[in-house]
């Protein structure tokens, strides 16, 4: 009952905020981004703690949020492993050039990606599926954020939708490491319905938003294909018998 009320309540709030995103602009839109990330982070961490215990939740935060911050700081400072990029000031306070809200986004989607992968594979294969499902989210995320100038790429070509291929390679590499660590710390199976709903909502809403509301047709197609490698099979398995 606690899981149902708290996590689904956060998911409902997340959906409302995300629906409002394309209806805003400027600083208000940037604020919507920050609020969305914080709610998503809270939903994933709450679900991890309630289903897997405090140690698993702490591990999730350590691996994805703290680890994500470390990787982002390395990326901003050296260009490795994503390519040369820099954040603007729209997303709030920065530390070592990284907005403090950004690492929370890693946690937000890493946990759902890990759980949905468990519906398709086990063992080492699950790590790979989870990494692909997580990294493919950036096919939506990066073009959307770059279009708003929240960060910029120094060398965006060769790439897709104005984002260098090195970025996606870096995402996949980091995602593989994160999911491998999570596989050693997280239970193999937990009640995952809220996180599956979060993952599928993120996929479907991103395709719709990019294609219809944001005018980002290339990333709509790329994300539909890339993230769809995981989202579509999961959705297919959930279809009524």
Whether 180 contacts 127, CB under 8 Å: yes
Q: How far apart are CA 58 and CA 64, in angstroms?
A: 10
Return the pLDDT at 6. Answer: 86
- Nearest CA-CA partner of 63 in 82, 44, 80, 77: 44
Whether 97 contacts 181, CB under 8 Å: no
Predicted model pTM: 0.96
Return the pLDDT at 191. Answer: 86
Return the pLDDT at 72. Answer: 98
Return the pLDDT at 4. Answer: 64
**Residue 100 in 3-state DSSP?**
coil
pLDDT tens digits for the chain (241 residues)? 566 678 999 999 999 999 999 999 999 999 999 999 999 999 999 999 999 999 999 999 999 999 999 999 999 999 999 999 999 999 999 999 999 999 999 999 999 999 999 999 999 999 999 999 999 999 999 999 999 999 999 999 999 988 999 999 999 999 999 999 999 888 777 889 999 999 999 999 999 999 999 999 999 999 999 999 999 999 999 988 7
Q: How far apart are CA 164 and CA 166, in angstroms?
A: 5
DSSP string for 210-238: IIIIS--HHHHHHHHHHTHHHHHHHHHHT
pLDDT in tens, 104-141: 999 999 999 999 999 999 999 999 999 999 999 999 99
Return the pLDDT at 2. Answer: 61
In this structure, the chain runs to a length of 241
Q: How far apart are CA 146 and CA 39, in angstroms?
A: 22
Backbone angles phi, psi at 86, to 5 degrees: -150, 145
Return the pLDDT at 3. Answer: 63
Q: How far apart are CA 21 and CA 14, in angstroms?
A: 11
Q: How far apart are CA 226 and CA 139, in angstroms?
A: 7
Q: How far apart are CA 206 and CA 109, in angstroms?
A: 13
Return the pLDDT at 239. Answer: 87
Return the pLDDT at 5. Answer: 79
Q: How far apart are CA 64 and CA 48, in angstroms?
A: 13
Whether 157 contacts 148, CB under 8 Å: no
- Nearest CA-CA partner of 168 in 193, 129, 140: 140
Q: Which residues, listed in sequence order, are joined to residue 118 by a DSSP beta bridge?
A: none
């Amino acid at each position: 009952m606690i899981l149902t009320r708290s996590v689904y309540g956060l998911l409902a709030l997340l959906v409302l905020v995300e629906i409002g995103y394309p209806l805003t602009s400027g600083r208000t839109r940037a604020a919507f981004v920050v609020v969305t990330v914080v709610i998503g982070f809270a939903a994933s961490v709450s679900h991890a703690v309630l289903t897997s215990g405090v140690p698993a939740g702490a591990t999730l935060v350590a691996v994805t949020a703290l680890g994500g911050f470390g990787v982002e700081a390395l990326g901003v400072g050296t260009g490795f492993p994503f390519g040369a990029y820099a954040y603007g000031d729209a997303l709030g306070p920065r530390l070592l050039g990284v907005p403090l809200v950004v690492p929370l986004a890693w946690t937000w989607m890493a946990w759902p990606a890990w759980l949905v992968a468990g519906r398709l594979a086990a063992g080492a294969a699950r790590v790979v599926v989870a990494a692909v499902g997580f990294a493919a989210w950036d096919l939506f995320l990066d073009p959307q954020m770059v279009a708003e100038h929240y960060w910029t790429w120094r060398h965006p070509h060769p790439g897709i939708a104005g984002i260098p291929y090195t970025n996606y390679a870096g995402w996949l590499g980091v995602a593989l490491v994160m999911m491998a660590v999570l596989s050693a710390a997280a239970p193999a199976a937990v009640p995952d319905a809220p996180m599956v709903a979060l993952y599928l909502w993120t996929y479907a809403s991103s395709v719709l938003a990019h294609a219809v509301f944001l005018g980002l047709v290339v990333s709509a197609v790329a994300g539909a294909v890339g993230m769809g490698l995981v989202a579509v099979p999961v959705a297919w398995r959930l279809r009524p018998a």
